[in-house]
Amino acid sequence: MTNSTPPVSHSIADIKALIHRESRRVTSYDVASAAGVSQSAVSRCFKPGASVSKATYARVMQAAFELDYTPNPAARSLRSFGARRSNLIALVACSRWTLHNPELLDELSHHFSLRGMRLLLFPLQLEAGVAEVLADIWQHQVDGAVIAAPVAEREVAEFERRRMPVVLFNRSVRDRQINAIVCDQAGAARILVNRLAAAGHRSFAMIDGPATSSIALARRRGVTERLAELGLAAPLHVSGEHDYASGARGLREIIDKLNGAPDAVICSNDLTAIGCLDTARLELGLQVPAQLSITGFDGIAQGAWRGYQLTTLRQPVRQMAQATADMLVGLIASGASGVERRVFSAAVVEGATARLGPAV
């Protein structure tokens, strides 16, 4: 009895040489040839739960390993109709918000990773609209999208027409119900105003965020409405861009217009608040919070730095990110179209830059 190789199989070396000569990638046919089986057998070995004999499976996997074979996802997604998933999620976000919230990107990619999906980045200029990247998103055949940027009703309709699942992160669209994970900005703002008012603050100023930001809008609305309800004077609004410089510029403008400092400056985000705080203490020599209370929104890491201990409203970013991943993955898996909106609450971080009264 002599040793014999399987009838049709070629040697690994020969196949590698062939592939190299033709300068192409390894295909399932190559693996089949190396393992002495048919191409469909190889395909089955890579499909979880297919019916393959132990022996065949072992031979195929061995050959696949030696040839560095990976199924071509393009061909795979081309073939299977229902399952043509790219496992790609588009993340459309304004650089500012996303990048100054390391936690967000971190947590989002983590939770999507756990489900075998990866984030494809579509960064926008500060508060630019998603319109400019829409075409690109279609091109890349993503399975779904997370949008943390201003969206118009028209654009949401586009996603719907193409049946692409979308979850809005901390954004909303006028006149349209859409899946979203949000933090109750207005509610948080109201609580903040309550506690500032309870501590005796009477004159307020606010450094706003970008005009196109629905987050900034909601924060402003919450502040303004609650102050009115409490019978306090409307706050002085100055514009800002949610960055450090806006805080410095904003405070100077406020003091200029009021001919002095108000009791409290509510900043539309933490970065602005930090800029405001530095200017108040270091440039204007104001005692914070003794002479002037300064608050932010977000709860970014820098706010907790020893020199700041910013009084702010912390959004549960990690939970929100997880909820976003959960929701989007669910939508992709089920193909469902029911609209859901999950609202999280911000928590007051007492910090040391504002005098706060007791919670009501």
Partner DNA sequence: TTGTATGCGTTATCAT
Partner DNA sequence: ATGATAACGCATACAA
Binding site for a second copy (CB under 8 A): 24, 68, 70-75, 77-78, 81, 84, 86-88, 95, 99-100, 102, 105-106, 109-110, 118-123, 135-136, 138-141, 161-162, 244, 248, 274-275, 278-279, 281-283, 301-302, 305-307
Q: In whole angstroms, what is the distance from residue 74 CA to residue 27 CA?
A: 12
Residue choice 51, 139, 259, 287 for contact with DNA (CB under 7 A): 51
Selection from a second copy, DNA, none that 37 binds (CB < 5 to 8 A by kind) is: DNA
Residue choice 5, 21, 23, 83 for contact with DNA (CB under 7 A): 83
Selection from DNA, a second copy, none that 110 binds (CB < 5 to 8 A by kind) is: a second copy
With binding defined as CB under 7 A, does residue 118 bind DNA?
Answer: no
* Residue in the block written with tokens 């008012």: 197
Selection from DNA, a second copy, none that 233 binds (CB < 5 to 8 A by kind) is: none
**Which two structure tokens, joined as six digits, stand for 15?**
């196949």
Three-class DSSP labels, 95-162: HHHHHCCHHHHHHHHHHHHHCCCEEEEEEECCCCCCHHHHHHHHHCCCCEEEEECCCCHHHHHHHHHC
* Residue in the block written with tokens 């933090």: 183
Smallest distance from a second copy to CB 299, Å: 15
Q: In whole angstroms, what is the distance from residue 283 CA to residue 133 CA?
A: 41
With binding defined as CB under 7 A, does residue 162 bind DNA?
Answer: no
Which are the contacts of 321, defined by CB distance < 8 A and separation ≥ 6? Answer: 103, 104, 107, 108, 110, 111
Residue choice 11, 17, 18, 29 for contact with DNA (CB under 7 A): 29
Q: What residue ranges bind DNA (CB under 7 A)? A: 24-25, 27-29, 37-41, 43-44, 46-47, 51-53, 55-56, 69, 71-72, 75-76, 78-81, 83
